Amino acid sequence: MPVITCIEDLRRLAEKRVPRMFYDYADSGSWTESTYRANESDFQPIKLRQRVAVNMEGRSLRTKMVGQDVAMPVAIAPTGLTGMQHADGEILAARAAEKFGVPFTLSTMSICSIEDIAAHTTSPFWFQVYMMRDRDFIVRLIERARAAKCSALMLTLDLQILGQRHKDLKNGLSAPPRPTIANMINLATKPRWCLGMLGTKRRSFGNIVGHAKGVGDMSSLSSWTAEQFDPALSWADVEWVKKQWGGKLILKGIMDEEDARLAADSGADALIVSNHGGRQLDGAPSSIHALPGIVEAVGDRIEVWMDGGIRSGQDVLKAVALGAKGTLIGRPFLYGLGAMGEAGVSKCLELIANEMDISMAFCGHTDIRNVGRDVLIPGTYPRGA
128 is in an annotated binding site: yes
Nearest to 299 by CA among 271, 318, 279: 271
156 is in an annotated binding site: yes
DSSP state of 218: G
Contact (CB, 8 A) for 103 and 125: yes
276 is in an annotated binding site: yes
274 is in an annotated binding site: yes
310 is in an annotated binding site: yes
59 is in an annotated binding site: no
Q: Give the β-pairing of 63-65 and 68-70.
A: antiparallel
Within 8 A by CB and 6+ apart from 307, the residues are: 77, 252, 272, 273, 274, 277, 287, 327, 328, 329, 330
11 phi and psi, to 5 degrees? -60, -45
CA distances (Å), origin 367, targets 57, 207, 371 = 10, 39, 7
309 is in an annotated binding site: yes
Contact (CB, 8 A) for 83 and 193: no
279 is in an annotated binding site: yes
Beta bridge partners of 248: 152
Residue 276 annotated as catalytic: yes
89 is in an annotated binding site: no
Annotated catalytic residue within 120, 166, 276, 365: 276
* Rg of the chain in Å (alpha carbons): 20
313 is in an annotated binding site: no
331 is in an annotated binding site: yes
Within 8 A by CB and 6+ apart from 347, the residues are: 4, 10, 336, 340
20 is in an annotated binding site: no
Binding site feature residues for glyoxylate = 25, 165, 276, 279
Binding site feature residues for FMN = 78-80, 107, 128, 130, 156, 252, 274, 307-311, 330-331
Active site residues: 276
Binding site feature residues = 25, 78-80, 107, 128, 130, 156, 165, 252, 274, 276, 279, 307-311, 330-331
